[in-house]
């Protein structure tokens, strides 16, 4: 226990919190999905869905935050990334042939998760995880009592290419049989290149360095660019979700956080989709935030956590 009057020790973002359980959950077809659980559950249960190329380790800080607030937090790595294996012979290629496979994994995991424990249940998805959360809610995933999406992938930021050209290139590469190849290179072998990638993700160089540290110390979880099949699926799935009728039938209380200066996902698409979901609440940060809002500098990160906590206290008490 901390001594009275002394500040709590800083959270070590490069170590697993005490008391957590890291194991594997088996998908219906037997595929091992790496899973992490932390927290007592006195407040309720929270399922965290991470983004493309992510791994559980990147979100230990926020997982610990919600565990400290009494949530029983469950996080997992999507099939084919993080510690959940790979789907091609290239261990650095983020490949999936069909987003529907992820939806099936998500539905089965969420059904089991939803049926256990007490108190309110909430789901939180970042980036691609936000997309999968919303798509899942339109495709039979058991709904939680509340949901939060952070910089959800509801459209890709394809600039300087127009979307129609990006679609054409991706489909052309698929027709050429290049679906399992990396769609681009991701070089981080110089300080300048690392700085460029960092600025796309977060203004906090220390939190960005944490990701590189985990990748260097656990090479099996490292992942590089997506495959052409992933790009093709992302373009198709975001279009179908945004333009389809099912999105307007989501009835779960929903908070959406986004960044106007996001260079990975389309903020204009987020605004359009949010307007179609009854009762959805949207907050858009300005230039102070990049894509990884929950891994941003503290003024943004703490504000986002406060907004999420206040929302959950209101709609899932």
Q: With respect to residue 1, please indicate whether it lies within any of the assigned structural domains.
A: no
pLDDT at 1 over 50: no
Q: How many residues would you count in the chain?
A: 317
CA 67 to chain centre: 18
Q: With respect to residue 14, please indicate whether it lies within any of the assigned structural domains.
A: no
Q: With respect to residue 4, please indicate whether it lies within any of the assigned structural domains.
A: no
Which tens digit of pLDDT belongs to each residue from 74-127?
Answer: 999 999 999 999 999 999 999 999 999 999 999 999 999 998 888 999 999 999
Q: With respect to residue 267, please indicate whether it lies within any of the assigned structural domains.
A: yes
Q: Note the pLDDT of residue 294.
A: 98
Dihedral sign, CA of 314, 292, 245, 47?
negative
The DSSP annotation for 147-189 comes to EEEES--SSB--TTS-HHHHHHHHHHHHHTT-TTSBSS----S
Mean pLDDT (whole number) for 143-166 = 94
Q: Pick from 161, 144, 103: which is nearest to 311 by CA?
A: 144
Phi, psi of 135 (to 5 degrees): -65, -40
Are 155 and 127 in contact by the 8 Å Cβ rule? The answer is no
Greatest pairwise CA separation for the chain in angstroms:
66
Residues 6+ positions from 206 with CB-CB distance below 8 Å: none
How many Cβ atoms sit within 10 Å of the Cβ of residue 90?
14
How many Cβ atoms sit within 10 Å of the Cβ of residue 126?
29
pLDDT at 305 over 90: yes
Q: With respect to residue 11, please indicate whether it lies within any of the assigned structural domains.
A: no
At residue 8 the predicted structure's pLDDT band, cuts being 50, 70 and 90, is low
The DSSP annotation for 122-152 comes to EEEEETHHHHHHHHHHHTTPPP-SEEEEES-
**Residue 302 to residue 288: CA distance in whole angstroms:** 13
Higher pLDDT, 161 or 76: 76
Q: Token pair of 78, please?
A: 């999507």
Q: Note the pLDDT of residue 73.
A: 98
DSSP state of 244: S
Q: With respect to residue 82, please indicate whether it lies within any of the assigned structural domains.
A: yes
Q: With respect to residue 9, please indicate whether it lies within any of the assigned structural domains.
A: no
**Residue 297 to residue 295: CA distance in whole angstroms:** 7
Q: Note the pLDDT of residue 5.
A: 57
**Residue 100 to residue 229: CA distance in whole angstroms:** 13
Which tens digit of pLDDT belongs to each residue from 282-301?
Answer: 999 999 999 999 999 999 99
Q: Pick from 125, 69, 102, 89: which is nearest to 254 by CA?
A: 125
Which CATH number do you get for residue 301?
Answer: 3.40.50.1820
Q: With respect to residue 10, please indicate whether it lies within any of the assigned structural domains.
A: no
Domain count, the chain: 1
Q: Containing domain of residue 121, as a range? A: 21-315
Q: Token pair of 244, please?
A: 């389809």
pLDDT at 196 over 50: yes
Mean pLDDT (whole number) for 167-196 = 89
**Residue 192 to residue 199: CA distance in whole angstroms:** 11
| pTM of this structure | 0.95
What percent of the chain shows pLDDT beyond 90?
A: 89
pLDDT at 207 over 80: yes
Q: Note the pLDDT of residue 4.
A: 53
Whole-number Cα distances in Å, 227 to 57, 157, 231, 280: 23, 17, 6, 32
Which tens digit of pLDDT belongs to each residue from 211-235?
Answer: 999 999 998 999 999 999 999 999 9
**Residue 91 to residue 211: CA distance in whole angstroms:** 17
Which tens digit of pLDDT belongs to each residue from 21-63?
Answer: 999 999 999 999 999 999 999 999 999 999 999 999 999 999 9
Higher pLDDT, 194 or 269: 269
Which tens digit of pLDDT belongs to each residue from 232-278?
Answer: 999 999 999 999 999 999 999 999 999 999 999 999 999 999 999 99
């Amino acid at each position: 226990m901390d001594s009275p009057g002394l500040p709590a020790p800083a959270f070590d973002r490069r170590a697993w919190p005490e008391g957590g359980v890291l194991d594997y959950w088996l998908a219906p077809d037997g595929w091992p999905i790496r899973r992490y659980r932390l927290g007592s559950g006195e407040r309720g249960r929270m399922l965290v869905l991470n983004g493309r190329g992510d791994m559980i380790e990147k979100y230990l800080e926020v997982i610990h935050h919600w565990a400290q607030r009494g949530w029983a937090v469950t996080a997992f790595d999507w099939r084919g990334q993080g510690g959940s294996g790979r789907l091609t012979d290239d261990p650095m290629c983020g490949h999936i042939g069909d987003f529907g496979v992820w939806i099936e994994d998500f539905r089965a995991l969420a059904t089991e998760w939803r049926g256990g424990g007490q108190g309110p249940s909430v789901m939180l998805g970042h980036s691609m995880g936000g997309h999968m959360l919303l798509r899942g809610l339109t495709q039979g995933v058991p709904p939680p009592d509340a949901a939060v999406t952070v910089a959800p992938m509801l459209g890709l930021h394809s600039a300087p290419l127009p979307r129609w050209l990006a679609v054409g290139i991706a489909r052309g590469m698929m027709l050429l049989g290049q679906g399992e190849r990396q769609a681009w290179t991701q070089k981080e072998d110089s300080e300048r290149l690392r700085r460029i990638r960092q600025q796309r993700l977060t203004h906090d160089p220390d939190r960005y360095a944490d990701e590189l540290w985990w990748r260097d110390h656990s090479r099996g979880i490292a992942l590089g660019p997506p495959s052409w099949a992933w790009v093709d699926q992302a373009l198709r799935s975001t279009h179908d979700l945004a333009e389809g009728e099912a999105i307007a039938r989501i009835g779960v209380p929903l908070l959406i956080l986004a960044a106007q200066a996001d260079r990975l996902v389309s903020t204009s698409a987020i605004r359009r989709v949010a307007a179609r979901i009854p009762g959805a609440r949207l907050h858009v940060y300005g230039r102070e935030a990049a894509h990884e809002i929950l891994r941003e500098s503290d003024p943004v990160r703490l504000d986002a956590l406060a907004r999420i906590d206040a929302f959950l206290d209101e709609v899932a008490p």
